[in-house]
């Protein structure tokens, strides 16, 4: 059991609390669904995605640039349908927050449009105290300033905080900043990791 006194719990969203909002697999499904050239979409995506996730393009502008031959609303609606919450995982964070009197914040690389949809669909406003999204702050993980900003908003130090992510690179960065970090692969192992920290 950890002897540390934690005051804040931070978590990613996609891959931890539900499916990813936008990834290679989803773009492939969209390409197949609408009969698009996946390689052309990937090429356009690479040129546009950083600007989209950092908040310099709307989802409409991004879709129109990447899926230029499709009705952008059809692509948007299809993408929205693919976002699926994982209630057991969300419940675990809610329970951990309430049982231990923690602040709970979400740190996520998500662009405009998808963010708002997923916050509503997953019920995240009822769970998190605040959220740091890449398109709000014009930063993207692995920018360390994402984590530092979240700590400032929570008025907590990294040593007082736990971070959960499904990407090992981001877990390693959080550890380097002083967080107790958990690599999420399944709800059972994350529950055990939280318990090992005394939560």
Question: Residues 36-93: pLDDT tens digits?
Answer: 888 999 999 999 999 999 999 999 999 999 987 778 999 999 999 999 999 999 999 9
Q: What is the pLDDT of residue 3?
A: 57
Backbone phi, psi, residue 132, to 5°: -115, 105
When pLDDT is cut at 50, 70 and 90, the band that residue 8 belongs to is very high
SS3 of residue 161 by DSSP: strand
Look at residue 152 and tell me whether its pLDDT is greater than 80. yes
The secondary structure element, H or E, covering residue 180 is: strand 180-183
Mean pLDDT of 92-119: 96
When pLDDT is cut at 50, 70 and 90, the band that residue 196 belongs to is very high
What fold, for 8-20+85-196? Answer: Rossmann fold (3.40.50)
Strands of the sheet with 161-165, listed across from one edge: 130-133, 103-108, 8-11, 161-165, 180-183
Strand partners for 107? 132
Q: What is the CATH number of domain 24-82?
A: 1.10.150
Look at residue 126 and tell me whether its pLDDT is greater than 90. yes
When pLDDT is cut at 50, 70 and 90, the band that residue 1 belongs to is very low
CA distance 115 to 134: 10
- List every span in the chain annotated with CATH 3.40.50.1000: 8-20+85-196
- List every span in the chain annotated with CATH 1.10.150: 24-82
């Amino acid at each position: 059991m950890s002897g540390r006194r934690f005051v804040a719990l931070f978590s990613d969203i996609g891959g931890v609390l539900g499916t990813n909002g936008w990834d290679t697999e989803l773009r492939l499904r969209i390409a197949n669904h609408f009969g698009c050239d996946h390689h052309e979409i990937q090429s356009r995506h690479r040129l546009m995605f950083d600007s989209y996730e950092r908040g310099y393009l709307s989802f409409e502008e991004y879709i129109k640039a990447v899926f230029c031959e499709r009705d952008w609303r059809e692509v948007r609606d299809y993408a929205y349908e693919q976002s699926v919450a994982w209630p057991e995982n969300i419940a675990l964070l809610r329970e951990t927050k309430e049982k231990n009197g923690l602040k709970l914040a979400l740190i996520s690389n998500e662009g405009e449009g998808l963010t708002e949809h997923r916050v509503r669909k997953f019920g995240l406003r009822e769970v998190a105290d605040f959220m740091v999204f890449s398109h709000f702050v014009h930063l993207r993980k692995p920018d360390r300033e994402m984590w530092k900003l979240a700590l400032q908003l929570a008025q907590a130090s990294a040593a007082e905080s736990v971070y959960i992510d499904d990407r090992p690179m981001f877990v390693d960065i959080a550890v380097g900043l002083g967080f107790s970090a958990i690599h999420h692969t399944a709800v059972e192992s994350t529950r055990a990791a939280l318990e090992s920290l005394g939560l």
